[in-house]
Amino acid sequence: MKLMITGGLGFIGTQLSIRLLERGYGVTVVGHSPKPRPYTPRQVKYISADTTAPGVWQEDVGMQDVVINLAGASIFRRWSDEAKQLIYDSRILTTRNVAEAMPGGKGALLCSTSAVGYYGFRGDEELTEEDSPGDDFLAKVCADWEREAHKAGDKEVRVVLTRFGIVLGRTGGVLGRMIPAFKRFVGGPLGSGEQWFSWIHMEDLLNAFLFVFENQAIHGAINFCSPNPIRNRELARALGKVLRRPSFLRTPAFMLRLILGEFGSVLLKGQRVMPAKLLRHGFSFQYPDIMAALDGVLGETSQR
């Protein structure tokens, strides 16, 4: 089968490429870089393109059995007006172009990324795919992002909206930002530490994609996150334990807001999200609990 990943040079896309090649897929990756990264598998066909603009890259979209749309500028930055526009456009315009180019009438699959930020900030409320969107900036981005992907359904494409929690993996992501602080003995909770943290181990995320491919009954929104969300203070405690470092030094809320602006406030809130649809369809998590997940990610390096 032929499969394309837009935004496929990053943390998640690289691991997906490796797993899908192992499963016998012909993989095409689209990215902004003029050349693939040194760690991009050589069996991958690489296309350099600005996916926010229509172009010849869309011809390749039309030849795929499966498209995984991961493209989007990082949210891990101070949110100036310019940064927010980049975050929005990189997702909405790319998804619009992908949906327009999807092949029609042959049962193709579009897995378009979204995020648990879709739900906004709801305190301790337990959230599933049936819940409504929030009204903050990220929630609005996710809602518009998903709306563009849904348009591919007009072509009889099966559309699955994968709402990611925070992905825990060896080669980057949020742990890549947290671990250095802990290793310098300055790690700990953010603000009060009471905010919920919905997460998923990279291995479960990769397996969840394969599960979606194989289960034709799955469509629409689906939460890619562990069935055991935790509070930020629990994450800090677990990470400190695995790394054998203290985990009590809090980052004050005012400091996060001062440094990161609006995005700092996002880190002080959170969502308590459950993977109701994955569980209902019988998906089995390899790493459902945070300690097992962190051991799986960091076990080889925690002694250093």
Structural domains in the chain, CATH included, are: 2-173+198-228+273-288 (3.40.50.720)
Do residues 175 and 130 make contact, with C-beta atoms less than 8 angstroms apart?
Answer: no
pLDDT at 302 exceeding the cut of 70: no
CA distance 240 to 178: 10
Give me the pLDDT at residue 304, please.
37
* pLDDT, mean over the chain: 93
Give me the pLDDT at residue 184, please.
82
> What tokens does 126 get?
């337990």
> What tokens does 128 get?
């599933």
* Chain position carrying tokens 């289960």: 215
| Residues 88-98, mean pLDDT to the nearest whole number | 98
Give, in order, the Cα–Cα distances in Å from 8 to each of 68, 113, 131.
9, 12, 29
DSSP state of 153: G
Tell which residue, 185, 124, 119, has the closest CA to residue 146: 119
Do residues 3 and 65 make contact, with C-beta atoms less than 8 angstroms apart?
Answer: yes
Q: What would you report as the CA-atom Rg of the chain, rounded to the nearest whole angstrom? A: 19
- pTM of the predicted model, to two decimals? 0.93
Q: Which ranges constitute the DSSP H helices of the chain?
A: 11-22, 57-61, 81-101, 137-150, 173-183, 202-214, 232-243, 253-260, 262-267, 276-280, 290-298
CA distance 300 to 255: 33
Query: At a CB cut-off of 8 Å and minimum separation 6, what does 40 contact?
Result: 9, 14, 17, 29, 46
Lowest mean pLDDT segment, chosen from 54-63, 143-152, 263-272: 263-272
Give me the pLDDT at residue 131, please.
97
Query: At a CB cut-off of 8 Å and minimum separation 6, what does 157 contact?
Result: 102, 103, 104, 108, 109, 110
pLDDT (tens digit, 9 = 90+) per residue, 159-208?
999 999 999 987 777 887 788 888 887 788 999 999 999 999 999 999 99
pLDDT (tens digit, 9 = 90+) per residue, 244-290?
898 888 888 888 888 888 888 888 899 999 999 999 999 999 999 99
